[in-house]
Amino acid sequence: MHIGSRAEHGFTLVELVTCIVILGVLAAVAGPRFLDYQPYQQRGYVDEVESAIRYAQRVAVASGCPVAFSVDASGYTALQQSRTGTLCSGGWSVPVSRTDGTPLSGTPPTGVSLSPAAQWVFMANGALNSGAPPPLTVGPFTLRIDAGSGLVTCNGCQ
């Protein structure tokens, strides 16, 4: 050990300020990407609609009564005809319920839109009562329904 010399350890003020400036620039550029929830909200909503369509089809098969599934920019809902004995008749007045008793309906998160507006009727065999419906689009995701089988697929969800 030398008596006249002392080793200093640490950072200079210039080095500290430089690091803080670099971190500030990185936060300004990369920060908004970490706070953008819209891709996650779009994926969550497309999964929710896909699941609801499948559930509506299963209810039609299980109950033997057709189910009308409607979707537009304000959300989705599923209704069934009333059942009298073994016959299903009348207008679409009976809300389809989930297993927890709540209606099969939902609204999109803020900033998430679905297009186009559509309505499908699932028959007792699970098929649609009309031809191939147009695909539904939610951001980069596309839902397609096979008219013959009622199979729902999502393009871009992998």
Residue whose C-alpha is closest to residue 67's, from 55, 75, 49: 55
- Can you give the CATH number for the domain in which 132 is found? 3.55.40.10
- Measured between alpha carbons, how far is 136 from 81 in angstroms, rounded to an integer? 25
Q: Is 72 helix (H, G, I), strand (E, B) or coil?
A: strand
Asked whether residue 20 is assigned to any structural domain, the reply reads: no
Asked whether residue 123 is assigned to any structural domain, the reply reads: yes
Domain assignment of residue 109, given as a range: 38-155
Q: What is the pLDDT of residue 5?
A: 61
Asked whether residue 11 is assigned to any structural domain, the reply reads: no
Q: How many CB atoms lie within 10 A of CB 67?
A: 27
Q: What is the pLDDT of residue 27?
A: 81
Asked whether residue 29 is assigned to any structural domain, the reply reads: no
Q: What is the pLDDT of residue 2?
A: 56
Asked whether residue 24 is assigned to any structural domain, the reply reads: no
In tens, the pLDDT along 98-114 reads 999 999 999 999 889 88
Q: What is the pLDDT of residue 84?
A: 83
- Please answer whether residues 122 and 57 qualify as being in contact, where contact means their C-beta atoms are separated by less than 8 angstroms: yes
Asked whether residue 51 is assigned to any structural domain, the reply reads: yes
- Please answer whether residues 15 and 22 qualify as being in contact, where contact means their C-beta atoms are separated by less than 8 angstroms: no
**Can you give the pTM of this predicted structure?**
0.76
Asked whether residue 8 is assigned to any structural domain, the reply reads: no
- Measured between alpha carbons, how far is 109 from 73 in angstroms, rounded to an integer? 11
- Measured between alpha carbons, how far is 111 from 23 in angstroms, rounded to an integer? 30
Give the end-to-end CA distance of the chain in Å, rounded to a whole number.
Answer: 65
Number of domains in the chain: 1
For the chain, residues with pLDDT lower than 70 are 1-7, 32-34
Asked whether residue 25 is assigned to any structural domain, the reply reads: no
- Measured between alpha carbons, how far is 115 from 1 in angstroms, rounded to an integer? 78
